[in-house]
Each structure stands twice: as C-alpha cells, then as structure tokens.
Amino acid sequence: MEVTLNHFLFVSGLLFAIGLAGVLVRRNVIVIFMCLELMLSAANLSLVAFSRFNLTPSGDADYNAQVFLFFIITVAAAEVAVGLAIIVALYRAKQTTDVTQINTMKN
Amino acid sequence: MEQAEVMLDLLFYIFSALTVIGALGVIVNKNPVTSAFCLIAAFIGLAALFIQLDAYLVGIIQILVYGGAVMVLFLFIIMLMDLPSEERRKFGWGAVAGGILVGCVFVVQLVRVLGDYSAGSRVMQDLPDGVASDVEQIGKLMFTQYYFPVQVVGVLLLISTIGVIVLSKRELD
C-alpha cells in the first residue's frame, strides 16, 4: 500500500491523541510537560505533510510552511526553558511535582 | 524504481512505529528518566518522517533542538529534583480511564474525518529537478518575506532568557 497524505495525517493525529491521553493520565508535572511537547511535534508533522503534498504551481513543495515550522520550534524551545524554570520554582516552594498535591487555588 | 518505492513505504512504517511506540513509552513508564528517553526515540522517529517528506532542514533542526537541547534540559531538571523517591505512587484509575477514553474518542473521530477527506488519498509526487534545495529556499524566505518575524522571534528568545533568570533566582531576604 502506497503511502499517502492520509498516512502522515493519521500518524500525526495518533501522536496527538497519545499526548492528550498522557496529559490526562499522568500526575508528574514534568511528564505532563513532555506530553505537551509531543502534541506540539504532532502538529508539526501534519504541517510538513501538507507542505509536501500540496505542491505550488511550479511543482515544488510549499516552503512557507517550513519557515512557519522553524518559528514554531523556536517558540517551543523558549517555552520549554520558561516552563521548566516555573517547574523548578514550584518544586522549590512545594517540594513535590505531583499535580494533585498542588491545589492552593482549590476552593 | 519500483523497489525503491517499496523501500520508502517500508521505512515510513518502521519510523511511524518507532515514533508511536516511543510516545506510548512516555506515558506508560513510571520513571521520568525512562519517559524522557522514550521521548527522545519518538523525536528521532519524527525527524526521520520529516526527512522522508524531503524537509531535510526541519528534520535536522528537530534532532538538534528537540532531541538534543530540549531533552538535555528535561533530563537535567529531572536530575536536579531527586525524583526516583516519588515513583512508587500509583495511578488514579479515574484519570487512567478518562485519558484512555478521550484518546480513543479522538482516534475514532480522526478515522472518520480522514475517511471523508478525498484530497488525503493523493500520493507523493517527485519534486522537480534543478530547483534550489530546501535550505536555500527557506533561507531566502526567512531573510526576505519573513524578515520582521525573525527579528521578533529574536526578541522573544531574549525575553524568555531574562524570564528564566528572574524565575530561577533565589529570593534575597
């Protein structure tokens, strides 16, 4: 069976679903953050797949999508740095990374 | 030619399996360090899929930034936090059932949507010969049409650097 656009979109959606399930299932805030990164990368895969399969009139791939992806990866790197700094600050304040223990704003 | 296409399809399935199994490994392993290494495997499989889609620059950046920098940062934070003492905590079964349910609903919906999407059945066309490589075309776009966004992203990185320093500084009291 030849690989089509749907194959790539399905893998992308499957990765997103796994990341979503991980965010709901896990309690460790670091693993939740990893699952968020996974969901972001899954979206990247569908972006690249569309760029490769929707060719421009000259027959070349649509490189605007890949420039966009470059920005996404840059912003994601900045997001990881800030997010992990917040997690470290949280751990220093609460001595835990379990999201069920961090309930100051509950009630 | 025929054999090369079969090989490409086989490679697609191999690397998709690597990516999906790595992603599953992230959420089933209780030890955060194992989760991090599974995530590295998933990112490497994803980079291989990018390269199969002729996005060489993006694939290399995926390995360098995600597989390298981001995951080193994750492992470094895990190392700082002495986590193995917390791994014996068991899962909440309500959360597990809810996560599996939401994931399954998402996959069912995905299958329905992709089944109706007629443009999705197109196969990969060869890129034309003699045009500039992807690195050259992306570079050209970034320094002409997307010049202002590149500058804005530079400012964003500066702000996030300052933010991280402010957040991780100990309070002086």
**Residue B88: pLDDT above 90?**
no
Question: Cα distance from A72 to chain B (closest Cα, Å)?
Answer: 10
> What local confidence, expressed as pLDDT, does residue A59 receive?
77
Q: How far apart are CA A49 and CA A62, in angstroms?
A: 10
Q: How far apart are CA B83 and CA B32, in angstroms?
A: 8
Q: Which residues contact A64 (CB under 8 A, 6 or more apart)?
A: A51, B141
Choice between B82 and A65, residue whose per-residue pLDDT is larger = A65
Evaluate whether B47 touches B63 at the Cβ level (below 8 Å): yes
B124 conformational bin, left if phi > 0, alpha if psi -120 to 50, beta if neither: beta
- Nearest CB neighbour to B99, from listed A13, A25, A28: A25
- Nearest CB neighbour to B39, from listed A34, A66, A87: A34
> What local confidence, expressed as pLDDT, does residue B145 receive?
93
Q: How far apart are CA B27 and CA A32, in angstroms?
A: 9
Which structure tokens are listed for B89?
């905590």
Task: Delimit the domains of chain B by residue range.
Answer: 8-84, 133-168
Question: Cα distance from B172 to chain A (closest Cα, Å)?
Answer: 14
Q: Considering only alpha carbons, which residue of chain B is nearest residue A56?
A: B127
- Asked whether the beta carbons of residue B117 and residue A70 sit closer than 8 angstroms, the reply is no
Write b or e for each residue in A81-91: b if 16 or more Cβ atoms lie within 10 A of its Cβ, otherwise e: bebbbbbbebb
Query: Which of A1, A32, A48 would best serve as a mutation to test chain B binding (most B beta carbons within 10 A)?
Result: A48
Evaluate whether B45 touches B19 at the Cβ level (below 8 Å): yes
> What local confidence, expressed as pLDDT, does residue B85 receive?
57
**Domain B8-84 belongs to what topology?**
Four Helix Bundle (Hemerythrin (Met), subunit A) (1.20.120)
> What local confidence, expressed as pLDDT, does residue B35 receive?
92
Evaluate whether B37 touches B72 at the Cβ level (below 8 Å): no
Per-residue confidence band for B86, with pLDDT thresholds at 50, 70 and 90: low
Per CB-CB distance under 8 Å, the chain B contacts of A89 are 167-168
The phi, psi pair for B123, rounded to 5°, reads -95, 170
Helices (H), chain B: 2-28, 32-52, 56-61, 71-80, 93-116, 134-142, 147-168
Selection from A104, A93, A99, A79 nearest residue A25 by Cα: A99
Per CB-CB distance under 8 Å, the chain B contacts of A30 are 32, 74, 77-78, 81, 83
Each residue of B109-160: pLDDT tens digit?
999 999 888 887 788 777 777 778 889 999 999 999 999 999 999 999 999 9
- Nearest CB neighbour to B138, from listed A70, A75, A80: A70
Report, as an integer, the average pLDDT of B20-42. Answer: 92
- Nearest CB neighbour to B70, from listed A6, A64, A77: A77
CATH of A5-94, one of 1.10.287.3510, 1.10.1040.10, 3.20.20.140, 1.10.357.10: 1.10.287.3510
Evaluate whether A74 touches B153 at the Cβ level (below 8 Å): yes
> What local confidence, expressed as pLDDT, does residue B95 receive?
83
Arithmetic mean of pLDDT over chain B: 88
Per CB-CB distance under 8 Å, the chain A contacts of B110 are 10, 13-14, 17
Burial class (CB in 10 A: 0-12, 13-18, 19+), B140: middle
Report, as an integer, the average pLDDT of B157-173. Answer: 84
Task: Delimit the domains of chain A by residue range.
Answer: 5-94
In sequence order, what are the beta bridge partners of A4?
A: B123
Evaluate whether A6 touches B114 at the Cβ level (below 8 Å): yes
**Residue B87: pLDDT above 60?**
no
Cβ of B7 under 8 Å from any chain A Cβ? Answer: no
